[in-house]
Amino acid sequence: MPLTVNATANEAANNGIAIEFDRVSFSLNGRRLLENLSLTVSQGETLVLLGRSGSGKTTTLKLINGLLMPVAGEVRIGGRSSANWDPIRLRRSVGYVIQDGGLFPHFTVERNIGLVPRVEGWEGARIEARVRELLGLVGLDVELASRYPRELSGGQRQRVGVARALAADPPILILDEAFSALDPITRSEMQKEFHQLQQRMRKAVVFVTHDLREAVRLADRIVLMESGRAVVNLPSEEFSRSEHPLVRAYREAFSEPTETATKKKTRESP
Amino acid sequence: MTLGETGEAEARQSRPRGIAVWSLVVAMTTILAIAMFLLVTGCAAHSERIVIGSKNFTEQLILGELFAQIIESQTHLPVERRFYLAGTFICHQAILAGRIDIYPEYTGTALTAVLKEPPRANKEEVYGQVRQAYEKQFNLTLGPELGFDDTFAIVIRGEDARRLRLQTLSQASAYTPHWRAGFGYEFMERADGYKGLSTSYGLRFAEPPRVMDLGLLTRALVQRQVDLIAGNNTDGLIPALDLFVLQDDRHYFPPYEAVAVMRAELLKVHPEVKAALELLGGQISDEDMRRLNYAVDGEHRDPGAVVHEFLAARRLLQKN
Amino acid sequence: MNFLHFMSANRQQIIELTLEHIQLAGVSTLIAALAGIPLGIVITRIPALSKLIIGGANVIQTIPSLALFGFLIPAPWIGERASRLAILALALYGLLPLIRNTYAGIRGVDPAVVEAGRAMGLTDRQLLFQVELPLASGVIVAGVRIAAVLSIGLATIAAAIGAGGLGEFIFRGLAMVSNQVILAGAVPAALLALAADLLLGLLERRLNSFWLKA
């Protein structure tokens, strides 16, 4: 089944840079949420934003699809400043996946996935075909198309969320803790499948997580954020070997928790 | 939420639920449609009955019964009674909306309360003005005057009237400075009530008038707590308690002649109704009305029986 | 004559007045919905107006119904026909529940769902009609239910100004001091209110359970 994704065409545009943050700052209600952030994401690249809650990761995502506008600096999508994009067109060019899918509870899986194509004016048969295609892409049984989100498991909902984001074939995909609510096994499955999908589709992906292992598994490049700043910005392998104190702290937090509570007590007692 | 046996069952259940919502909506719309249909057909059936309304005091009930019985006996059309409607405004609204076809009204009330025109003294002029205006503005027809005037009456004890040889209000105004007066709330408030009256006749009283409930005024007069009250000209208790109505020689009070108000549309379909009601023209004098009122209020007889007796005596029940 | 016998003997009048009553309450609730739902939507979009609009509807609610009927009598055109007047007044009373419930219903939609919709590039109108309104429909229907029951009750008072309906029996019965006549008006009115509450409540429950997560 041919993918309607045109990887090479996506890469050709704008000498390959899909997203660019040029010294971007953002505040809300007097609080500085982002400070002087600069980064680029090329077409085909997966950038992972790693950091604690409140480090500015979600804010960064919302600046990409125009839900927020920078207070200083410029965000450029496809070479054009986000301020110059028609907000509706911008958002339809950016697929957005959130935790637990954010699916519309009153739509079937089919209507959920087909929503953007429908408002874009695709004809019924084309939408149906696309929905079937996407279900296959994310590893779901076509039979689920007429189910409602509440009838699905968490993992299935997440897959539908990804399918929905891909429906109109946007060049950019942003994911906000998309797999964080899943159980470890499903989560691991989803990471593997997503990685494979991305190898084929070559979209510009920005993935937010606070899980170091997930970051390493999925990223071409990792940006570690802290208090609204990009503290570390390295390709994935270099990041793993970095001796930056914050990176080390992260590694330690994610190292094997072999000590049980009792063992720790006996170790700490004189 | 995991998908298992229970999940499957729930999934199967929730699909019929969607149909349930829509079938509920359809059911409700159908009920509404049926109701509307009944309303339309109900109206059609309604036009076969003549609906007679009346306000909620004794005299009105008697007049309503008069209309109903004379129409029934002269035309043999089915008549429905809707008495005790709460007032002029409500009767007027009801007849405009076609909910009632006929009701008894007073020319003075029609002039001031319905048409909102200033009061006038001349009976014929008032009748003429009301008849024309009702015809033009509301498509309502006025029947002939029944023969009595339910205007305000200034009432004193019969013995005082005889002793002082009083016939008119002007004569009485010489004695009122020694008297106490009692009036109802409405009479005190209305423009054509106490204020205008005292100006018109130059009335002065020993002390400010006592204001009390209409029902208590007559008793207060008889028990000598007051010496002069404002009541209704056709009050049944006037002859019964030996009370005397002072003549309104300066024609201060506007006329309140009783007439039937009828829907012109009805008369087009049933002109015999108009003919039947015209038989009542001039048939009821002030005295007659007082006696009829007393029979119901004082003797506690049934209005239907009282009216039947009256019509029979006047030979108005059989067809001419 | 016992009560049921009385009802059956006067059934034509009772049916007529009941239909009149349904018309008064039904049309006014419809008008209240047609005005109140858009107003509720407006204040979700322009929160600055919410104080004004909800405040206004609140003030209307505090006016005693009979007084409001009385105020409107001298109004040109509206005051000429009691049924017009009654329908307008009843519609005014139905505004507050509808505005408030529409507002609460839309605000009550899961913000994650709304944000997902916005992020997908739905225009505000698409968001409103395809996401927010369907998900808020249960609460909005609850508002209709409240307005309808309110209307049915207040319509009995409308008879005091000549608008007809079952209240006419009640007022006539009071003047006649006849319990049967009073009940002939009160019982059908109460049954109407119960029926409306039940049917609309059913619809409300279906909508809530159907379109929200189980």
Cβ-nearest to C206 among B10, B21, B56? B21
Q: What per-residue confidence (pLDDT) applies to C79?
A: 79
CB C95 within 8 A of CB C29: no
Q: What per-residue confidence (pLDDT) applies to C59?
A: 94
- Looking at per-residue pLDDT, the higher value among B34 and A246 belongs to A246
CB C180 within 8 A of CB C3: yes
If one counts every other C-beta atom within 10 angstroms of the C-beta of residue C173, the result is 19
Q: What is the 3 state secondary structure string of B269-302?
A: HCHHHHHHHHCCCCCCCHHHHHHHHHHHHCCCCC
Q: What per-residue confidence (pLDDT) applies to B16?
A: 45
Among B96, B92, B88, CA closest to B57:
B88
| A106 interfacial to chain B (CB closer than 8 Å) | no
Q: What per-residue confidence (pLDDT) applies to B33?
A: 67
What ipTM did this prediction achieve? 0.80
Q: Residues A136-159: pLDDT tens digits?
A: 988 899 999 999 998 999 889 999
Instruction: From chain B, pick out residues whose CB is under 8 angstroms from the CB of C163.
Output: 93
pLDDT at A210 over 90: no
Q: What average pLDDT does chain A have?
A: 87
Among C214, C213, C52, C37, CA closest to C142:
C37
CB B122 within 8 A of CB B287: no
pLDDT at B242 over 80: yes
CB A100 within 8 A of CB A164: no
Strand partners, B258: B106
* Amino acid identity for residue B245 in this structure: V
CA distance B159 to chain C (A): 35
Q: Residues B87-121: pLDDT tens digits?
A: 898 899 999 988 899 999 999 999 988 998 888 88
| B34 interfacial to chain C (CB closer than 8 Å) | no
- Range with lowest mean pLDDT among A9-13, A64-68, B263-267, C185-189: A9-13
Separation of alpha carbons B190 and B204, rounded Å: 18
Q: What average pLDDT does chain B have?
A: 85
pLDDT at A12 over 70: no
Average pLDDT over residues A72-83: 93
Strand partners, B156: B228, B244
The CA-to-CA distance between both ends of chain B, in Å, stands at 89
Which C-chain residues 44-103 have CB contacts (< 8 A) with chain A? Answer: none
Q: What per-residue confidence (pLDDT) applies to B19?
A: 56
Q: What per-residue confidence (pLDDT) applies to A99?
A: 86
Q: What per-residue confidence (pLDDT) applies to A110?
A: 94
Average pLDDT over residues C61-66: 92
Categorize the per-residue pLDDT at B13 as very low, low, confident or very high, splitting at 50, 70 and 90: very low
Q: What per-residue confidence (pLDDT) applies to B5?
A: 41
Phi, psi at B198, each rounded to 5°: -65, -30
pLDDT at B8 over 70: no
The residues of C whose Cβ lies within 8 A of any Cβ of B are: 12-13, 15-16, 19-20, 22-23, 26, 73, 81-83, 159-164, 168, 171-173, 175-176, 199, 202-203, 206-207, 209-210, 214
Instruction: Check CB contact under 8 Å for B25 and C203.
Output: yes
Q: What per-residue confidence (pLDDT) applies to C38?
A: 94
Categorize the per-residue pLDDT at A265 as very low, low, confident or very high, splitting at 50, 70 and 90: low
Instruction: Check CB contact under 8 Å for C121 and A100.
Output: no
Instruction: Check CB contact under 8 Å for A65 and C117.
Output: no
Phi, psi at A103, each rounded to 5°: -75, 150
What the block records as the tokens of B224 is 């000598």
Average pLDDT over residues A234-252: 88
Cβ-nearest to C19 among B25, B39, B92? B39
CB C138 within 8 A of CB C207: yes
Cβ-nearest to C119 among A96, A101, A104? A96
Interface test with B, best of C137, C171, C213 (most B CBs within 10 A): C171
Cα–Cα distances (Å) from B260 to B54, B274, C192, in that order, read: 10, 10, 36
- Range with lowest mean pLDDT among A244-253, B149-158, B189-198: B189-198
pLDDT at B186 over 80: no
Q: Residues A23-69: pLDDT tens digits?
A: 999 999 989 999 999 999 999 999 999 988 888 999 999 999 999 99
CA distance B6 to chain A (A): 10
Q: What per-residue confidence (pLDDT) applies to A145?
A: 93
Burial class (CB in 10 A: 0-12, 13-18, 19+), B116: exposed
- Compute the radius of gyration of chain C from its Cα atoms: 20
pTM over 0.80: no
Average pLDDT over residues A169-174: 94
Strand partners, A223: A49, A233
Which A-chain residues 65-124 have CB contacts (< 8 A) with chain C? Answer: 65, 67, 87-94, 96, 98, 100-106, 115-116, 119
Q: What per-residue confidence (pLDDT) applies to A14?
A: 57
Separation of alpha carbons B253 and C75, rounded Å: 29
Q: Which residues of B120-130 are buried (b: 16+ CB within 10 A; e: fewer)?
A: beebeebbebb
Instruction: From chain A, pick out residues whose CB is under 8 angstroms from the CB of B11.
Output: 147-148, 151
pLDDT at B304 over 90: yes
Q: H/E element holding C166? A: none
Among A175, A160, A162, CA closest to A211:
A175
Vertex C179, ends C175 and C180: CA angle to 5°?
110
Residue where the block lists tokens 């049921």: C4
Cβ-nearest to C135 among A65, A101, A106? A106
Give residue A96's Cα distance to chain centre: 7
Instruction: From chain B, pick out residues whose CB is under 8 angstroms from the CB of A140.
Output: none
